Amino acid sequence: MATDDAPLAGKVVLITGGSRGAGLATAHRLGSAGAAVSLTARDLAALNAAVDGLLADGIRAMGRVGDVTDPTAMDAAVTATEQEYGGLDVLVNNAGIGRYGPVAEQPPDEWRQVIEVNLLGVFHATRVALPALRRRGGGQIIAISSGAARQGYPNMSAYCASKAALEGFMRALAAEVEHEPIKCATIVPGGILTDFGIRTRADREASMSSGAKYLEPEDVADAIYYLLTQPPRAWTQEMTLWPR
């Protein structure tokens, strides 16, 4: 039962790409508010370490290795979550990758991989989560996009295209479920201080001396918490989140 100290008590959240970065920060934020969190990730060691850290903080947490590009793995993640916690209330589509290079030189398989993870991965997870949310009587689906969906960057054609398509998918999904108690939201953040693509967190921190600005993973987690604690009458469909 939700309380002032645990406003998300009784809620169950599945986070893809949950072993690090914004996904793990979100697990800590929501878990600290009383939610039970279920994480998926491809790296077993990182996933186990993430779950161990959450459990040590008193958060109800579980993990299941799974690749979002594998529909069977996403189905298994949802099933395991329901079996462990009795249902599913929230899906956070956080998993994503970046592969960079000029259009004329980037290998087609590399370009395709970005689309498969960043776009098809969201479809696979959402497709199997929807029936679980309906069994629960409603819920929320949140996807993490990028400022790259709105602004073209050189050598990032696959990433920009995948995130722009993701936003189109989420708008269509929102229209599809508009008469159900299911909210669909997209967060569009600027750069985040994480290890992502070919740059590490340390690389990004070093660039701040030259004026670069970044969000912390916790900023994204706080935005997700805000979406989940809005009253039922309120719906934020898209949220832009820029560093200052």
Q: In this structure, what is the dihedral angle of CA atoms 123, 65, 144, 170, given to the nearest 10 degrees?
A: 10
Q: For residues 97 and 99, give the distance between their C-alpha atoms in angstroms, rounded to a whole number.
A: 7
Quick one: tokens of 19? 């072993």
Q: For residues 241 and 239, give the distance between their C-alpha atoms in angstroms, rounded to a whole number.
A: 6
- The 3 state secondary structure assigned to 120-185 is HHHHHHHHHHHHHHHHHCCEEEEEECCHHHCCCCCCCHHHHHHHHHHHHHHHHHHHHCCCCCEEEE
Is 159 noted as a catalytic residue in this protein? yes
Taking CA atoms, 21 is separated from 9, 15, 183, 200, in Å, by: 23, 12, 24, 11
φ, ψ at 198 (rounded to 5°): -95, 0
- Determine the distance from the C-alpha atom of residue 197 to the mean position of all C-alpha atoms in its chain, rounded to a whole number: 16
Q: For residues 143 and 239, give the distance between their C-alpha atoms in angstroms, rounded to a whole number.
A: 11
Pick the catalytic residue: 85, 153, 159, 214? 159
Taking CA atoms, 87 is separated from 14, 65, 80, in Å, by: 10, 19, 10
Q: Could you give the residue numbers annotated as active site?
A: 159
